[in-house]
């Protein structure tokens, strides 16, 4: 396992096996928390591309809800590395429940909106927009040349990873 420090230098565990992993986890636990505010997937992909000099496997775990130029950065990263994008989603993000007036808060910006969920048309538009966003993200990942694994919080993620890995192995 390789983790990159704040200056972009590789932090390698000095030992292998269980001891090395535990040492790496302790070291990660001592790192300062990420700054508050919006994070940029595109910036993270760019940094990974610039720091990872040798060809290798890069696993990106994200909800892919970022609005910056992450597809371009992903394409650049996948041109040199084998990239697997793990898109994590929650079914509650795809459909609004009919609960009346609902206040939603953007966790990155703190912006609040009130939505009347009792209206069927609002729920349908929300579901269509969420499905469209997921389809657009999946197309962008495939167009970049990266593998795409969708994980959901309501399923056994380990089983999904095993199936994904087995399918990739069969294709080789």
| Residue range 19-46, pLDDT digits in tens | 777 887 787 788 777 666 667 899 999 9
pTM: 0.72
Q: Name the percent of the chain lying above pLDDT 90.
A: 55
Strand-pair category, 147-152 with 82-89: parallel
| Residue range 96-134, pLDDT digits in tens | 889 999 898 887 788 999 989 999 999 999 999 999 999
Closest CA relative to residue 73, chosen from 119, 113, 112, 40: 40
């Amino acid at each position: 396992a390789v983790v990159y420090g704040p200056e972009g230098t590789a932090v390698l565990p000095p030992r292998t096996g269980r001891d090395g992993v535990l040492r790496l986890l302790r070291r990660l636990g001592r790192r300062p928390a990420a700054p508050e505010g919006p994070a940029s997937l595109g910036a993270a992909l760019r940094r990974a591309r610039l720091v990872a000099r040798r060809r290798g496997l890069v696993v990106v775990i994200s909800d892919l809800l970022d609005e910056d130029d992450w597809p371009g950065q992903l394409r650049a990263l996948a041109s040199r590395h084998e990239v697997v994008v793990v898109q994590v989603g929650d079914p509650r993000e795809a459909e609004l429940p009919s609960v009346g007036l609902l206040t939603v808060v953007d966790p990155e910006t703190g912006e609040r909106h009130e939505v009347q969920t009792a209206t069927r048309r609002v729920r349908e538009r929300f579901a269509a927009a969420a499905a469209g966003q997921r389809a657009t993200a999946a197309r962008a990942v495939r167009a970049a040349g990266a593998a795409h694994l969708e994980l959901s919080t309501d399923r056994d993620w380990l089983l999904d990873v095993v199936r994904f890995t087995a399918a990739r192995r069969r294709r080789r």
